[in-house]
Amino acid sequence: MAAREIKSGIFYVGSNHWDRRLFDELIPLPDGTTYNSYVIKGSEKNALIDSVDPEKQNELIANLKDLGVGKLHYIIANHAEQDHSGGIPEVMETFPEAKVITNQKCKTMLMELLLLPEEKFITVNDKDKISLGDRTLEFIIAPWVHWPETMLTYLQEEKILFPCDLFGAHLASSELYPTDLPRVYESAKRYYAEIMMPFRNVIQKHLKKLEEYSIEIIAPSHGPVHKDTDLIIDAYRDWTSDKVKNEVILPYVSMHGSTKKMVEHLIDALIKKRITVKPFNLTKTDIGELAVALVDAATIVIATPTVLAGPHPAAAYAAYLTNALRPKARYASVIGSFGWGGKMLEQITGMLGNLKVELLEPVIVKGYPTTSDFGSLDKLASAIFERHKSIGIT
Ligand code: FEO
């Protein structure tokens, strides 16, 4: 994708990956993604902020050449993950004088992941600054924006924050600045849910730290550049807060209809109590959509039949992911069915150990649900309602 000017002498030089459909061989990318890289031309020195995925490194090099960047003094590595660092060796081939600026932890990881030589690095600490002549870069150490070595870079004079993955979105677009803000919001929320939700408490602290800075533009490493910085910062404050919504997330799978009948009954019972229900048929759902729903919900109910004495593998996968993503839900339960026995309930609840939830009385049915079983589901809906009421969200 062609280079574009953000401000005088500051250019986007990254790449769209329109047709990428999976990240980390795990995360669905319905809208593709971008690898954003930026070049800052100072009066004395030039700096590149992050590189791109190796698959797109030729586009980055072409953009730098098109802009007439004859000398590159610094490559700022905010993050060691290869979708941003993977192009660094090629950039260093093209600009052999360039030094990589990063923190000590990131340096170690880049040496291990990319086999870069130690003499090519300049290491920085929190709040260290580097001058490009008429422009100054300040480095903000912000570990665990999903990896331990992450940092942010702040361009002081123009008040631009380059936060790498933080505030990003997997959204390929020809627009540098978005016009469809609701779409960007949803995409950024999905990105947060899939990548950063497990680090919610750490990110809260990073948001607090950023209050010290006047920020006019946020230029992340994926998706659009934000001029409306309040939109994305306020969204992150909301997502990372302890507030939950009057919602039940209901990932389910059913083989012969028993569990499905229970799910349908529970959905109706919750709707009658004016609780928002978000069911996800695990044989069809995009796990990214499930992750997004987990950002706000107060309660998670997993519904599964019993297969070979345990939960259905699709339900086990959903439970595993939910546990790994550590959503802020307060309550959880399990509903489902079995034919002759098994340890489905113990196994699925055993997979949710990371969640700080109260486990509400499960409803496990032998065979097809009876009137009495539907009564138990009504009781579960009432228990959820009472809990939500007790925390003031009904
Ligand atoms: Fe976009 Fe953590 O890399």
pLDDT for 25:
86
* CA-to-CA dists, residue 347 to 18, 42, 262, 287, 353, angstroms: 40, 58, 20, 21, 11
Q: Is 170 in the pocket of ligand 1 (CB under 6 A)?
A: no
Domain boundary among 203, 222, 240: 240
- The verdict on 234 and 253 lying in the same domain is no
Cβ atoms within 10 A of the Cβ of 28, count? 17
pLDDT for 1:
76
CA 86 – ligand 1 centroid, Å: 11
- The verdict on 96 and 187 lying in the same domain is yes
DSSP state at residue 166: T
- The verdict on 271 and 325 lying in the same domain is yes
- The verdict on 197 and 97 lying in the same domain is yes
Ligand 1 atom 3 nearest Cα: 81
Q: Is 81 in the pocket of ligand 1 (CB under 6 A)?
A: yes
Domain boundary among 212, 240, 268: 240
- The verdict on 236 and 270 lying in the same domain is no
- The verdict on 289 and 386 lying in the same domain is yes
- The verdict on 280 and 229 lying in the same domain is no
Q: Residue 32: which CATH number?
A: 3.60.15.10
Q: Is 83 in the pocket of ligand 1 (CB under 6 A)?
A: yes
pLDDT for 53:
97
pLDDT for 384:
98
Ligand 1 atom 1 nearest Cα: 165
Mean pLDDT by 10 residues, the chain (394 residues): 92 95 90 97 98 97 96 98 98 98 98 97 98 98 97 98 98 92 96 97 98 98 96 98 98 97 98 98 95 98 97 97 98 97 95 97 98 98 98 97
Q: What share of the chain is helix, strand, coil (3-state, %, to 5)?
A: 35, 25, 40
- The verdict on 228 and 265 lying in the same domain is no
Q: Is 17 in the pocket of ligand 1 (CB under 6 A)?
A: no
- The verdict on 208 and 328 lying in the same domain is no
Ligand 1 atom 2 nearest Cα: 81
Q: Residue 382: which CATH number?
A: 3.40.50.360
pLDDT for 39:
98
Work out how many domains the chain is built from and give that number.
2
- The verdict on 232 and 337 lying in the same domain is no
Residue ranges making up the domain that contains 336: 249-390
* Pair type for strands 297-307 and 331-338: parallel
pTM of the model: 0.96
Q: Is 296 in the pocket of ligand 1 (CB under 6 A)?
A: no
Could you tell me if 190 and 291 are in contact, meaning their C-beta atoms sit under 8 angstroms apart?
yes
* CA-to-CA dists, residue 137 to 125, 176, 323, angstroms: 12, 22, 38
Ligand 1: atom nearest CA of 165 is: 1
> Residue 270, SS3?
helix
pLDDT for 26:
87
Domain boundary among 213, 240, 267: 240
Cβ atoms within 10 A of the Cβ of 389, count? 12
CA 83 – ligand 1 centroid, Å: 6
Q: Which residues pair with 75 in a beta bridge?
A: 48, 100
Helix (H) or strand (E) holding 178: none
Encoded amino acid at 272, one letter: K
